[in-house]
Structure 1
Amino acid sequence: MLTAKSSRQSVSVRHSIPGRLRLHLSPAPLAPRLGVLCQSMPGVTRVRINAACAAVIIAYQAEMTDAGRLFQAVREALDSAQPLPAPAKETGGCTCRPASPGKSGVGSNLARFLALSGVMAFVFVRKVVFKAALSEAAFSPLGLIALVAAFPVARESLRHAREKRFTLEGFLAAGCAVATLSGQALTALEILWIQSGAETLKAWVSERSRQSISAILDLTAKNTFILAGDVEVEVPVSAVKPRDIVVLHTGEKISVDGRIVSGEALVDDSPITGRAEPAHLTSGDTVFAGAYVRQGIIHVRVECVGDRTYLARIMRQVEDSLENKAPIESVADNLARSMVRLGIVATGLTLLTTASLWRAFTVMMVMACPCATVLSAQTAISAAIAAAAKRGILIKGGRYLEEVGQADTVCFDKTGTLTSNQPRIACIHNFSACSEEELLKWAYSAEVHNHHPLAMAIRNEALARDIDPISHVVCDFTLGKGVRAVIGDDVIRLGNRRYLAESGIESSARDKEVSSLRERGLTVIFLAKNTDILAAFAFANEARPDAGDTVRTLKQSGVSNITLITGDAEQTAVDLCRQLGITSCHHSILPAQKGEIVAQLRQGGHKVIMVGDGINDALALAEADIGIAMSAAGADVAIEAADIALVRDDLADILYVRELSRRTLLVARQNFWIATSTNLGGALVGALGLLSPVASGLLHIVHTLGVLANSSRLLLPLAGPAVSDDCAQALPVCPQPEQEKA
């Protein structure tokens, strides 16, 4: 880790990949100032500051500068005697600081609401059931309770006043004080009761969303095995230290960066590189966090432990999601402020025109509590985020929920996004007189006990054709190369060219015949019986069953541009685009170039969604207006960079979240109409003398409940778009290459 110190100031590199650099500053107040300086550096495209944890995240163009130059420039700025520039405004909250579990506010809000509910129940029983008089004077028990209950609102309004902000709390506090001092303590209590209930509901919905999302993140909790003497011990990844020996088995996720000291394995590093074919790694090779061991056992000496605060960062983003307001929430806040100003004017005009304090006070009571207006968007957004979390969709803020339904461009990664990680047989190139069924029977018989992805593809194709395997006497696997099986009097080998060469079988001539398959990006292995090569099997990653319908439905829903951005070869990418009906294709793309393509689309005036699943997609996910990460069990960096994470790894959830976005906006607009119309209508009726101050409190209850009931409809199941059965059919085996015409 690079670290530079200047007197009492220091900067260190916490994380670096091409195009992205994360710095940690000390002391913490240095971060905002340094962020301003970094924005003016050549090649820097964007700077994000987390002031609370003293971090600066720099996105830059790799062809113009690099992490070393940026770090050197920052170090020189610290060494310079010139003061750093002051930030123009305060930065947002930190997304990497662990959330405090006790700060949800549900408990305190609920206690206050229950206490006020008890008072209101006592008043109801005394006045309605027993028909007893009850004093509402300022210094009566009821008046004193109202003043005490108004204290939290008054304290909040004073804090806003010190910040030179006039907010709803100030008007509420003033209204309650006037009501109590004028002998209408019950009216003041009604307003405070409604306000307390609204705050409790908002805190409860937020906490419910957090709990749903916490359950999602529990799926990604990571443990690993370390070697303690000769014993393997399971420990949390956070407890792993550099130079520990981590033992990784078949099917396990690699959670550390390190070097293999013993063993060999097939490692799926597609989340990092986007490459579909697993890599055969042995002693001396390097492995990275985020990859998977598909087959084998390896011992890895830890060089770098993954970010120990990953889950805390995600949870902090969830904690801040309500502050990351959707534009429609800002509309609600502005509308509420306008209603407050209108209430002041309406109260004054009513007093001037009617000379009735009673009528003016009624108008003020109606307009002083635009709770329903404030809650119109908040409750809709919170309910939608909670509903999405139940379905396994993590939405990190209301802004992303609103914008995902407005996007006109969707960019897809290929491997793991539009295609599954399980390959299929694309072509069988037959060199013999055997039928394809016979070839599959030999191959299936040799691979029947193998769990390699290519072996599973052979098995699936054989089962689809009702082919049964032949029992073998001997079966030997050579990791990363092939398999040898003795079936009757014959020796069957299935593997790559190097494996056949090591077995004394010449395959160079046959290899030239299938070179066109490799140019298409297919994985090719040979089937040999004794010393004769019978066939070549070509494999491709299978498109997800619902990929075609997802693309079609996106076009029908208003998406005008669907683009494939992949690191795979041209022919592979073009074939997939043709199959799915995608008209725009960028192939053989490096991770940094993916972000540049997304940036170009945004500069062209498009609102862009980027859908990916790997570390190689992280820059593009961060660059897009809305980044959607497939599978929360996938690459941590991709999920962190994304704005929405689909835990179920289901493409149909993209359609669901777009439909949820549209429904949420519709419900919020309906709530605006409910809240505003009842406020204005109540003020008019109050000005005419047809509404009492007590009745104005009942009006608040009715229209606030109406808003809450309307928003709660979003918690009901929303059926996802149907996926036709046509896409669920297995793809047929491709024609033999010699029969194809270019």
Structure 2
Amino acid sequence: METLRTTYMLSGMHCAGCAAQVEQRVSELPGVMKATINFGASNLIVEGVVNHDKVIKEAEKEGVTAKPMGVKMDEDVPKSFVQAHKDSIITGAATVLFLAGWLLGLSGYKVAEVTLLVLSIVIGGYKTARSGLYGLRKLNFDMNVLMTIAVIGAFAIGAWIEAALVVIFFSLSNTLSVYTLEKARNSIKALMGLAPREATLIRNGQEIRLDVEEIQIDDVMIVKPGEKIAMDGVIVKGASSVNQAAITGESMPVEKGIGDEVFAATINQQGSIQVKVTKRVEDTTLAKIIHLVQEAQGQRAKSQEYIDKFSKIYTPVVIVLAVLIAVVPPLFFGSVWSDWIYRGLALLIAACPCALVISSPVSIISAIGNAAKNGVLIKGGVFLEEAGVLKAIALDKTGTLTVGRPEVTDIIPANGVSEREFLEISAALERYSEHPLAAAIVRRAERDKIVLPEAEDFSAITGKGAQGTVNGVTYYIGNPRLFNDLETDIHQIQKEIERLQNEGKTAMILGTKERVIGVIAVADEVRESSKQAIARLKEAGIKRTIMLTGDNQATAKAIAEKIGVDEYRAELLPEDKVAAVVELQRKYGKIAMVGDGINDAPALATSNVGVAMGVAGTDAALETADIALMADDLTKLPFTIRLSRATVRNIKQNIWFSNGINILTMILIVPGYASLLFVALADVVAAVLVVLNAMRLLKINPTK
């Protein structure tokens, strides 16, 4: 025994009710400080002094198999056929006993019939009865309690066949639910199996094969053509194309060379490369994705919170109603006791909210799993539902709608200054700036092999430009607003500035307080996918798209028209983007903001749904965004919106369908039109159809 935080992988957990039972049982174990079930990811997190055997036994009491992660027990030993198919075997055994008893009853062997039917009830309903009695002791009136009371009641009035069939149907429903839910969860299990467990390393000049757990940061891996990359790292030798679909969802391979980052679980397609490891196995991008998706699948959506509250009131009310139906007509109207007790028992079964309680979580599990498989991380059901009702989306320009790597397009010197001298001064100033436009000027100077003088007293002027002293003269570089503030006459280059801006370029002026030295234009290439993505967003139901940028009005207008956004807001400082999001929320209601997840963090946090793009390998953006697009592929945004809308529809369909089935069967019970068998079968069909409906979300494709 040791004090730790242990995660247990669970299997056989078919509903939120049994998850709550496992959580409560484990919480009551001596030394356990806290136990938390993640129903979506199907795991249990236990904090405190943990005895693994006791935790496993408590889970088994609910028919759930628990396996500690990272604990060397029997997790690597394959399950026997009986262990792997325990629920199916129990259901099958109960069915065989029922059929044998029923046939013997037809032949006149009543004692043998009753004996076999009782055995069928005990074998098929033992797990349900144990959970139901535990729930009664804790005053937790879940579906196991309702089913247990109903079967005991049927047993008491001699309805052996009905009692046995109710047990079989309920057991079958649980078995099918476990099977279909496990299929929905397989997207995460598939992620967990993507990365290889071993890698070839160079140590002391020799090639050795090691488990990934033994690999340290700065170790160098050899990755041959066709091999999967085992760890995150940086290429230090060689070049190749890498299939990054497992991480980013990109269908096309990406060319990689020395200095480029690569991720665990991606595939080296061509040349042999050597990769220096930058992260331990538990910190890789893939590991973070798995962790975030598991957390997301366990978070409760608003619809699920409604269902939980509804069920807590609904179940006790139904028990009272069933008692009244069973007792009032015989007591006050002289009706036959057995008939009305039978109807009361049928009402208990009809009222079992099996389908209802899984209607939301199974849809969330399916949608988040599908998104993760296609390079989109959705942080929980809340954000999935929020994205499903959006009418407007704001998008930052730089790095989102554009490539984010601007280049110099025009240099227009003035007042007798040469182009080379102009570039020398402007690059000397801008090399101390972190702005992408500044980087473009420095790159141009490097390409022209200009030796840059030192710039002293450099300072950035937020939202306007920068200043510094070069060769004893104080220069300024920035947008026209900066020179208007300096009261410098820019009349002589005004027409050139307007022309450049109308072409969609960003014009920056270089000068002193007294005179203008010239203007330099920089343009950021619009992504090829941007126009297509905006069009597909409208097809997905987004009414308004708004571009936010720090560019001037003319440049912003040119880019907005080229891409096809409905509106734009220009000349925005970082704090202005937050104000713009607030204004758009007042105008359109809920707003999503799409940006790079770092520079746009305040605006993303202010929006209802913050979407960060191109965040593979960017831990900060992965953690802060509500939705993260792993690749620099804006077409994944329409896919996310379509998936979110489909999920909202799916949840509503499931809730209406499950409630409708329950209400219909309860209406049929009172006049005696619905038997115990009909009601039990309806419960099975409803639960299975709800899960199958939710699994349709796994089929939604980014390319359609």
CA change 1:353–1:497 in 2 (3 A) is closer
What amino acid is aligned across from residue 155 of structure 2 in structure 1?
Answer: T
CA change 1:232–1:331 in 2 (3 A) is same
Percent identity over the alignment is 25
Q: Does 1:115 align with 2:95?
A: no
Q: 2:671 aligns with which of 666, 688, 691?
A: 688
CA change 1:315–1:182 in 2 (3 A) is farther
* Mapped contact 1:522–1:539 kept (Cα < 8 A): yes
Counterpart in 2 of 1:190? 165
Q: 1:361 aligns with which of 342, 348, 353?
A: 342
In proportion to residue count, which structure has more helix? 2
SS at match of 2:389: coil
Q: Does 1:663 align with 2:635?
A: no
SS at match of 1:375: helix
Give how far 1:327 is off: 1.9
Give how far 1:667 is off: 3.4
**Cα distance in structure 2, aligned partners of 1:699 and 1:208:** 23
Give matches, 1:40-439, under 5 Å: 111-124=86-99, 127=102, 131-132=106-107, 140-160=115-135, 164-216=139-191, 228-229=203-204, 241=216, 308=283, 311-337=286-312, 339-355=314-330, 356-368=337-349, 369-389=352-372, 391-420=374-403
What amino acid is aligned across from residue 497 of structure 1 in structure 2?
Answer: A
Structure 1, unmatched stretches of 5+, are 1-27, 33-49, 55-96, 264-281, 291-297, 432-479, 483-494, 505-511, 524-535, 722-742
Give how far 1:405 is off: 0.9
**Cα distance in structure 1, aligned partners of 2:625 and 2:549:** 18
**Cα distance in structure 1, aligned partners of 2:210 and 2:666:** 64
Q: 1:497 aligns with which of 419, 431, 445?
A: 445
Give matches, 1:634-645, under 5 Å: 634-645=617-628
Q: State the aligned residue count.
A: 530
Give how far 1:198 is off: 3.9
What amino acid is aligned across from residue 545 of structure 1 in structure 2?
Answer: E
What amino acid is aligned across from residue 324 of structure 1 in structure 2?
Answer: Q
What amino acid is aligned across from residue 331 of structure 1 in structure 2?
Answer: Y
In the TM superposition, what whole-angstrom CA distance separates every residue of 1:684-735 from its partner, at most 9, and x where no partner exists? 33222333323332333344454445445444446866xxxxxxxxxxxxxx
SS at match of 2:393: strand
What amino acid is aligned across from residue 340 of structure 2 in structure 1?
Answer: R
Give how far 1:326 is off: 1.9
What amino acid is aligned across from residue 348 of structure 2 in structure 1?
Answer: M
What amino acid is aligned across from residue 342 of structure 2 in structure 1?
Answer: F
**Cα distance in structure 1, aligned partners of 2:587 and 2:32:** 37
What amino acid is aligned across from residue 680 of structure 1 in structure 2?
Answer: I
* Mapped contact 1:686–1:692 kept (Cα < 8 A): yes
Which has the larger displacement, 218-227 or 621-630? 218-227
**Cα distance in structure 1, aligned partners of 2:346 and 2:84:** 23
Counterpart in 2 of 1:673? 656
Q: 1:579 aligns with which of 562, 571, 579?
A: 562
CA change 1:417–1:307 in 2 (3 A) is farther
Q: Provide the alpha-carbon RMSD of the alignment.
A: 6.1
* Mapped contact 2:613–2:629 kept (Cα < 8 A): yes
Give how far 1:115 is off: 1.7
SS at match of 1:190: helix
**Cα distance in structure 2, aligned partners of 1:573 and 1:118:** 71
In the TM superposition, what whole-angstrom CA distance separates every residue of 1:387-439 from its partner, at most 9, and x where no partner exists? 54555544443333222111244233445532347x798958899xxxxxxxx
Q: TM-score, normalised to structure 2's length?
A: 0.57
What amino acid is aligned across from residue 625 of structure 2 in structure 1?
Answer: A
Give how far 1:350 is off: 2.3
SS at match of 2:92: helix
* Mapped contact 1:565–1:589 kept (Cα < 8 A): no
* Mapped contact 2:388–2:647 kept (Cα < 8 A): no
What amino acid is aligned across from residue 531 of structure 2 in structure 1?
Answer: G
CA change 1:549–1:248 in 2 (3 A) is same
**Cα distance in structure 1, aligned partners of 2:520 and 2:197:** 37
What amino acid is aligned across from residue 543 of structure 1 in structure 2?
Answer: V
CA change 1:581–1:219 in 2 (3 A) is farther
Give matches, 1:454-465, under 5 Å: none
* Mapped contact 1:394–1:647 kept (Cα < 8 A): yes
Give how far 1:343 is off: 2.9
In the TM superposition, what whole-angstrom CA distance separates every residue of 1:345-388 from its partner, at most 9, and x where no partner exists? 43233224432333332343243323233333344444444554
**Cα distance in structure 1, aligned partners of 2:547 and 2:440:** 32
**Cα distance in structure 2, aligned partners of 1:569 and 1:51:** 52
* Mapped contact 1:380–1:711 kept (Cα < 8 A): yes
* Mapped contact 1:363–1:683 kept (Cα < 8 A): no
SS at match of 1:543: coil
SS at match of 1:542: coil
* Mapped contact 1:244–1:301 kept (Cα < 8 A): yes
